[in-house]
Amino acid sequence: MIEPQPSSLVSEYVRTYGRFESRPQLVNPLEAFAGMEQRLRQLRLKEWIGFTLIHPELYSSLVIQDAHYLASSEIYTFDRRRGELYEHASNARGGSPTLPPELFGSECVYTRPGYELVYAFGAERGTHRISLDIAASRRAPAMHGELSLDGGGGPPPLSVSSRLPGGPMYTHKRLYPARGSIRVGDSEFVFDPARDLAILDEHRSFLPYQTRWLWGTFAHIGLDGPVGANFISRAGTAADPEESCIWTRHAAEPLDDVSFAPQSAGPLSPWRMWSADGRLDVVFEPDGRKDVRHQLLLAAIDYFQLFGRYTGTLRSAERTHTLRGVHGVCECMLARL
């Protein structure tokens, strides 16, 4: 069941749970607490805003994240023509990025010497912009560009507030047709809104200390407009909605009980993902992989994101969609946070 959009996720210390028509105007999970408890909870709050870019010649993901004891930003690009993966990353003091609880009508900014990433959000169904200006490093060439996102050109959003073991989560995800260009070294990638997309992923959650998930997303623009899916497998509370959906032109249809199965233990092994009701049944074939591993005394991260192509079927309320080589990502997170 989809609930009307609340004006605020938390009102008078009471948090609203459910699947919403759209993002609440204000999303600040800390408002459910006061005084010293709020300060302690802040150290458990993990927030990020990222995008997966869908383009026939480029795989790319970018993110600004704040764990409140440490902040960071990452971007990778994989040039399919050259078969080359480039990565940039930067760390900063916790609390230093701008991750506004209002989102629409605000800017999300991460800036350090030689590294600037800005998301400028207009009205919810207006125009949004991504701009990046990142200097060359020993590992990767410079990256520059700007994309304009059509807030009224995609399906309705996935907006979910749920209880999880260890603490509640909130996420907002949406597909946007994208126009503009990104330059990676001497290569320029031009985005056409009739073909290319940006998938927004906003997360504001009190993740459990021991955190594990498998997640995937993909999208393309078909004959009926944008079509795609977002799906996850992790421990949850059965009574609350999960952050999985099928996107069609007119809906973000709820999706539950998704399974992930690699075909072998190889780092670039294909994966099969399917839902118990059969509405999602796809095989993911990776073209490449980004790994992140950190061991920091009490905290640790063992993470990878695969980028590649999905083939299979999506069955929406309207019809069955056949997928052939649709671009997307799949990731696995194992962490102590």
Helices then strands, counting H and E runs in the chain, come out as 1, 25
Burial class (CB in 10 A: 0-12, 13-18, 19+), 28: middle
* Average pLDDT of the segment spanning 287-313: 85
Q: Say whether pTM exceeds 0.85.
A: yes
pLDDT class of 83 with cuts at 50, 70, 90: very high
- Cross-strand pairs, 271: 262, 284
Read off the tokens for 277: 């009701």
pLDDT class of 334 with cuts at 50, 70, 90: confident
- Cross-strand pairs, 84: 79
Query: Is the distance from CB of 325 to CB of 309 less than 8 angstroms?
Result: yes
Strands 187-191 and 280-296: unpaired
Torsion of CA 258, 264, 267, 270, to 10 degrees: -60
pLDDT of residue 48: 96
- Cross-strand pairs, 249: none
pLDDT in tens, 148-167: 999 999 999 999 999 988 78
CB under 8 Å to 319, separation ≥6 — which residues?
none
Q: Which range of residues forms the domain containing residue 273?
A: 2-336
Cα separation, 252 vs 245, whole angstroms: 6
pLDDT of residue 296: 65
**Average pLDDT of the chain to the nearest whole number:** 93
Number of domains in the chain: 1
What is the number of other CB atoms lying within 10 angstroms of the CB of residue 124? 17
Helix (H, G, I), strand (E, B) or coil at 163: coil
- The DSSP letter of residue 302 is E
pLDDT in tens, 64-73: 999 888 899 9
At residue 274, does pLDDT exceed 70? yes
Share of the chain above pLDDT 70, in %: 96
Read off the tokens for 85: 């993966």
pLDDT class of 121 with cuts at 50, 70, 90: very high
Distance of CA 303 to the CA centre of its chain: 15
